[in-house]
Each structure stands twice: as structure tokens, then as C-alpha cells.
Amino acid sequence: MEFTDEQIHRYSRHIILPEVGGKGQKKILQARVLIVGAGGLGCPVGYYLAAAGVGTIGIVDNDTIELSNLQRQIAHNTERLGMPKADSAKMTFEALNPDVTVHAIKERLNKDMIMDLIKDYDIVVDGSDNFPTRYLVNDACVMAGKPLVSGAILRFEGQVTTIIPGEGHCYRCLFEEPPPPGLVPSCQEAGVLGALCGVIGSLQAMEVLKLILGKGQPLKNQLLMYNAFESSFRKVKVPRNPDCPVCSDNPRITELQDYEAEYCQMRF
């Protein structure tokens, strides 16, 4: 493909980077990224990936926009209250960059459709707000061998990690099973300062771009933790668990399962 004059202008700040160049920008334009969740994290991730020119973005979310979302979910707006978040995200991202095709998937991920969905994408981003989805996405990506950039936020803290199946750790190497419902913060405890979503979502977008470009050191076998209150970052090593129930050589989990969503349905 040849760049149009408009593309040369749009992506000039990428192209002049030695690590990107025209070749890297073409990789970005040809990339296909699936984002799970069009909420606090999915919005900034999708926004930056669309701006970067990721050619195909899938965004999965079965929720509609509520007023309480708008304090942090920056792809939506007040006029779109009640609209499906996936549709709103598609409108916002495609308006930002006509080079981008966004597929809005207005379903809740489940074990029967996730493998078929992720097979069309190169990289998966988890910005979901619940543990059943988080574990389902992890297990599906491990089984399909898809790189997964996982992010999570709560109150003033966030985490990012990049899972490269077969090469590094997976989410279950970190936390083998979902926590019992009683240990998950209740709705009243689960506030978040909105800008934290921008920090963590931008870190996730950066991980995705590095994977597309094949440059830099992604957070493989590492968990990056950010504390907004203390203004501190901490990176911890996460070795691959040789007895991991899903990504070890002899996994116990060989079929996907849908965990019961018996947690308080707080919406990130």
C-alpha cells in the first residue's frame, strides 16, 4: 500500500520515529485489535489505537451509557445517554480517524462465542469490569495463542500486564482462581478517580502498539502497578507458573467455563 498525502500528514509524528517509520505505520494500519469493554479502560485504549491508525478495532460491550459513566468513559457523551456503548465507541473512533473500521459487538462475552470472535484479531485488550469475563478472556487467549494486554483499576490504583501465550505468564499464573465474591469490593467501595482510567488505558494502548511494531519490551512476565495517590509506579516480576491450571504443559483447564457473575455489578 502507498500512503495518501492525508495519511502522511496524519501519521507524520509516527513516521519520523526511527522505531516506527513508514513500515511500522503500515503494520499499525493492517493490525486488528479486539477490545473487551467500552468503559473506563476501553474508551482510552480505543481512542489512542484509533488515533494511531489501527485499521480494524473490535469493541465488545453489552451495556448502555449511563450518566455515572461519563466521569471517566471518554468516548461517550451526554447526548448519547442510553445508547449502546459499543455503538457510541464506534461513532467516536471512526469520527476521529476514517482509516479505522470499528466492529461494535453488543454482546456479553461467553464461552460459546469467544473463540470464534478472537480468531479474527491479532491482539486482545481486556478492559472488562468483572472477574468472570477477565478469566474467560485469559483462558480463551491462552488456548488461541493470542497476545492479551490486561488492565485493571480501582480507586487510585491500576495494573497492567501483557500476556504472550507460550512465552510468558498468564493471568492465572498471577491469580489462579477468581476471588470469592465477598473479597471483591462492593459498589459502595468501588469508586475510581476518572483520570486513572486514562493512565492505565494509555499504558495498555502503548503495550498494543509495541506488540504491533515488534519493538521495545512489553510487560511480559511483569505486572506494572500504578498508585495515583502516591504518584508511584512499581513493576513486579511474574514468573510463569509451571503448574498453572491453564497455561502449563499439563493444564487442568482444557475447556472454557463461564463463571457465575454473582459479584455486585459495579460498572467500570
List of residues contacting other proteins (CB under 8 A): 3, 8-9, 12-13, 15-16, 18, 21-23
Which one, 6 or 177, has the nearer CB to other proteins?
A: 6
Which one, 17 or 195, has the nearer CB to other proteins?
A: 17
Sign of the dihedral defined by the CA atoms of residues 129, 151, 49, 213, in that order: negative
Q: How far is the CB of 13 from other proteins (least distance, A)?
A: 8
Q: How far is the CB of 12 from other proteins (least distance, A)?
A: 5
Which one, 16 or 183, has the nearer CB to other proteins?
A: 16
Q: How far is the CB of 267 from other proteins (least distance, A)?
A: 42
Largest CA distance in the chain: 56
Which one, 26 or 90, has the nearer CB to other proteins?
A: 26
Q: How far is the CB of 8 from other proteins (least distance, A)?
A: 6
Which one, 21 or 178, has the nearer CB to other proteins?
A: 21
Question: Listing from the earlier edge strand, what are the strands of the sheet with 32-36?
Answer: 101-105, 56-60, 32-36, 123-126, 148-154, 157-163, 222-227, 232-237
Taking the C-alpha atoms of residue 245 and residue 94, their distance in angstroms, rounded to an integer, is 39
Q: How far is the CB of 25 from other proteins (least distance, A)?
A: 9
What's phi and psi for 236, nearest 5 deg? Answer: -115, 150
Q: Are 19 and 213 in contact (CB under 8 A)?
A: yes
Sign of the dihedral defined by the CA atoms of residues 82, 85, 87, 91, in that order: positive
Burial environment of residue 58 by CB neighbours within 10 A (0 to 12, 13 to 18, 19 or more) = buried
Q: How far is the CB of 96 from other proteins (least distance, A)?
A: 21
Which one, 13 or 252, has the nearer CB to other proteins?
A: 13
